[in-house]
Amino acid sequence: MTEACTELACAFYGQITSTVVPVTSPDAAEMTKLFENIFRAVNIALVNELALLCDRMSLDVWEVIDAAATKPYGFMRFTPGPGLGGHCIPIDPFYLTWRARSFDLTTRFIELAGEINTQMPRHVHDLVVRSLNRQRKALNGSLILLLGVAYKPDVDDYRESPAFKVLDLLEADGARVVACDPHVSVFESHHGTIYTTEPLTDELLASCDCAVIITNHSAFDYHHIAELAPAVVDTRNATRHIQGPLRTKIELL
């Protein structure tokens, strides 16, 4: 708020980070944080839309991304997924679009990105249906194993996790859903329902109708999962190193 405040804030943050970048106001600082998160959200939306298109065109979006990432300049790698998670990226863009309306501006680009990202759990649902169809099974009554509840790998933070929406969509169509996460034992969905995760066992893998990789935790043995589960939907390309006959059981995002 004042020059003295800026100096004090820089002195404080200088104790915990090597570089402090002062700006002219708290508003500029807040917009900087929003922009950083929205930049990621918009680019994730772009690659998510590319994933949807590649699926329609029978192309491997992960191969396309890997090839594009070999360009030494002008390209920044983003990867698709089952939806946004965490306490920043799914929320910040919508806060700014709301705030922009008070300045008589519609942030159409940001809102479009939000629409694309929020539809990805529906795409995951459709991939599960496709995987079950190959086994001549219906989603209604099938046991679906969700691998990962946390919104990113190797953490216990499940705030705004896309697993919630995927779970809701599957249960709404009659599936029996079991969640496994080595970092989360109990979690509360966005509508207040309390769930308990199960330990990942060989019996559970063999008895499920489809395993869905939501979070690519390093603790998961993906080759073992592909061996035992009748079918796998991989939303994170965690099974990229698996080749041979097991590859035919895996449905990529």
Sign of CA dihedral 126, 140, 151, 160: positive
Active site residue 5: no
How buried is residue 199: exposed, middle or buried, by Cβ count under 10 Å (0-12/13-18/19+)? exposed
Q: Number of H helices and number of E strands within the chain?
A: 9, 7
CA atoms in the 13 A half-sphere facing the CB of 111: 9
Residue 124 vs residues 26, 70, 100, 140: alpha-carbon distances, Å:
40, 28, 32, 16
Of 88, 180, 208, 210, the catalytic one is: 88
At residue 31's C-alpha, the angle toward residues 25 and 35, to 5°, is 150
Distance between CA atoms of residues 120 and 51, nearest Å:
10
Residue 180 vs residues 56, 139, 165, 189: alpha-carbon distances, Å:
30, 19, 16, 15
Catalytic residue list: 88
